[in-house]
Amino acid sequence: MVSGGNFPLTLRIAGRKVVVVGGGHVATRRTLSLLDAGADLVVVSPDVSASLASSIGRGDVEWIQRVYRTGDLEGAWLVQTATGDPDVDGQVADDAAAQSTWCLKGGDPDHATAWVPAVARIDDVTVAISGGGDAGRASSLRDGVAAALQSGDLPLRHRTHHPEGFVALVGGGPGDPGLLTTRGRRLLAEADVVVIDRLAPHGVLSELAPDVEVIDVGKMPDHHPIPQHEINEILIDRAKQGKIVVRLKGGDPYVFGRGGEELIACREAGIPVEVVPGVTSAIAVAAAAGIPVTHRGIARGFSVVTGHVELSDLPHDRAHTLVLLMGVRRLREVALQLVDSGHDRLTPVAIVESGCTPDQRVTVGTLDTIADRAGEVDAQPPAVTIVGDVVTLSPAWPQAD
């Protein structure tokens, strides 16, 4: 019976025989999750779904291609019946009971001897919710708990044990907290210390518990309040105190983010480190302005460089997109350098300031005009400059009538 007398249990099913009777959609889903758990699977059914057929074709599942017969359950630890025929399902359940095999009975929980909870696995945590026969309610609850775990909305601090300390270098994306990965959020929810950059999504700080130490090492352009070696020392020092340290960086840690240096410093100090990639402004800020960095027939590739480097070695082709980070205040020099090295002076250019934030502003021009346009609007960092024909795809580019 569904209510009363239930005993939640987890089975070690790997290598053990499980019989699935039926070949439709319930049988298919159950077969796939049992396969994932390593069960030794036998499907009994005259026909099977395309997805089951491919598992059978790969040799992952044995197929008895006929209707069920008493005796098919021999040696099974567990049976799932989901033929859609109440007489056959009833026979399977009776046969299972007669040989003391647990029986999952699709669509008929009242006559099953076992139920599968709604399950979500998030890293090392398994969430299993049993809805007492109401699979829909169990699934909704499972989804809610899983989402809260993934987003870090559930209190996870002090649950993960890193007695030796731990540093996570987390890419925070270009500014919108919605563009921080679920892994990044989860680690933030576990953090004892958050070391944050100027361009990381500061909005998430309000979600941290009051006792989380927040260290702002943000660098302003042309002004470096905390040198890199001191940032490395902070990470190592806090981790050595046994703390979970999240280094929250703007964009992706490895795209002009000095993530590699921090990784090496932690490793050399013997601190376990995890790198969580982020959504880089180089691609996301262009996208937010309606500019794909590649586009069939318009741009075949792209380069990401800083506006501070020697630009003459880059491909000088309007079909190769250049994404320039930093250096928006040097645009006149940059544009001149590109033209002098072979770029067409009419190549379209866009400057996207504060991309992916409510203050986003897009200014367009050509290599000839962009420095003047930037001066007219007083373009300010943080900004990404995109050079190439893809810029014409932006809604900000003047469209021919």
Ligand X SMILES: C[S@@+](CC[C@H](N)C(=O)[O-])C[C@H]1O[C@@H](n2cnc3c(N)ncnc32)[C@H](O)[C@@H]1O
| Nearest approach, Cβ of residue 342 and ligand X (Å) | 24
State the residue for tokens 């029986």: 103
Query: Which amino acid is it at 330?
Result: R
| Nearest approach, Cβ of residue 307 and ligand X (Å) | 8
Query: Which amino acid is it at 128?
Result: A
Residue closest to 379 by CA, chosen among 398, 360, 397, 392: 360
Q: Does the footprint of ligand X cover residue 172 (CB under 6 A)?
A: no
State the residue for tokens 């090392």: 124
Interior/surface letters 254-285, b for 16+ CB within 10 angstroms, e for the rest = bbbbbbeebbebbeebebebebbbbbbbbbbb
Q: Does the footprint of ligand X cover residue 120 (CB under 6 A)?
A: no
| Nearest approach, Cβ of residue 279 and ligand X (Å) | 8
Q: Name the one range near ligand X by CB under 6 A: 187-195, 205-213, 236-244, 352-360.
A: 352-360
Confirm whether 197 is a catalytic residue.
yes
Q: Does the footprint of ligand X cover residue 289 (CB under 6 A)?
A: no
Interior/surface letters 337-370, b for 16+ CB within 10 angstroms, e for the rest = bbbeeebeeebbbbbbbbbbbeebbbbbbbbeeb
Query: Which amino acid is it at 3?
Result: S
| Nearest approach, Cβ of residue 296 and ligand X (Å) | 25
Report the residue count for the chain: 401
Q: At what angle do helices 25-36 and 50-57 cross, to 10 degrees?
A: 40
Q: Does the footprint of ligand X cover residue 68 (CB under 6 A)?
A: no
Q: Among residues 152, 184, 355, 365, which is the contact residue for ligand X, using CB under 6 A?
A: 355
Instruction: Name the active-site residue from 216, 219, 237, 344.
Output: 219
- In the stretch 192-221, what mask flags binding to ligand X with x, by CB under 6 A? -------x----------------------
| Nearest approach, Cβ of residue 269 and ligand X (Å) | 23
Fill in the DSSP letter of residue 216: E
Q: Name the one range near ligand X by CB under 6 A: 58-66, 269-277, 353-361, 362-370.
A: 353-361
Q: Among residues 106, 175, 201, 348, which is the contact residue for ligand X, using CB under 6 A?
A: 175
| Nearest approach, Cβ of residue 139 and ligand X (Å) | 37
The footprint of ligand X on residues 315-334 (CB under 6 A) is: 325-326
Q: Among residues 102, 115, 256, 302, which is the contact residue for ligand X, using CB under 6 A?
A: 256
Q: Among residues 22, 106, 152, 251, which is the contact residue for ligand X, using CB under 6 A?
A: 251
The nearer residue to ligand X, 106 or 382, going by C-beta atoms, is 382
121 torsion bin: left (phi>0), alpha (psi -120 to 50), beta (else): beta
- Contacts with 386 (C-beta within 8 Å, 6 or more apart), sequence order: 286, 289, 291, 293, 321, 322, 323, 324, 349, 350, 352
Q: Which residues are catalytic?
A: 197, 219
Binding-site ranges for ligand X (CB under 6 A): 174-175, 199, 250-252, 255-257, 280-282, 285, 325-326, 352, 354-357, 381-384
